[in-house]
Amino acid sequence: MQRLLRTTVWNADAVRDDVRSWLVKQLGHPDAVLVADETGFLKKGVHSVGVQRQYTGTAGRIENSQVGVFLAYVSPKGRAMIDRRLYLPGTIRNLPDGHF
């Protein structure tokens, strides 16, 4: 697995789109909902992208952290993560249609 992850060239967004399409076909239901959740990743330094002193529920206080936002598709047939985004503080980003 480590060799696969280290040596394979892939496009994470294309993989996400393929997995999302497959999952929606498998789990599709009229009562399905999208669930967004954010998670803080504590960081010791300031050299990672998006790190700043900010409140994070992970620590329960203001700390150096990154924040990831995750999107899940939930239906009576099951649930699965279908998207992710790193929150970049103080940045306004234009996202392509269909992406959060």
Q: Give pLDDT tens digits for 66-90.
A: 999 999 999 999 999 999 999 887 6
What's the confidence (pLDDT) of residue 48?
A: 85
Indicate the pTM of the whole model. 0.70
Write the pLDDT tens digit of every residue in 3-60: 888 898 889 899 999 999 999 899 999 999 999 999 999 998 878 888 888 888 889 9
Are the C-beta atoms of 41 and 63 separated by less than 8 Å? no
pLDDT of residue 9: 87
For the chain, domain boundaries: 2-87
pLDDT of residue 93: 55
User: Is residue 27 within 8 Å of residue 77, measured between CB atoms?
Assistant: yes
**What's residue 58's pLDDT?**
85
Q: Can you tell me the distance from the alpha carbon of 44 to that of 78, in angstroms, rounded to the nearest whole number? A: 37
- Are residues 67 and 50 in contact, defined by beta-carbon separation less than 8 angstroms? yes
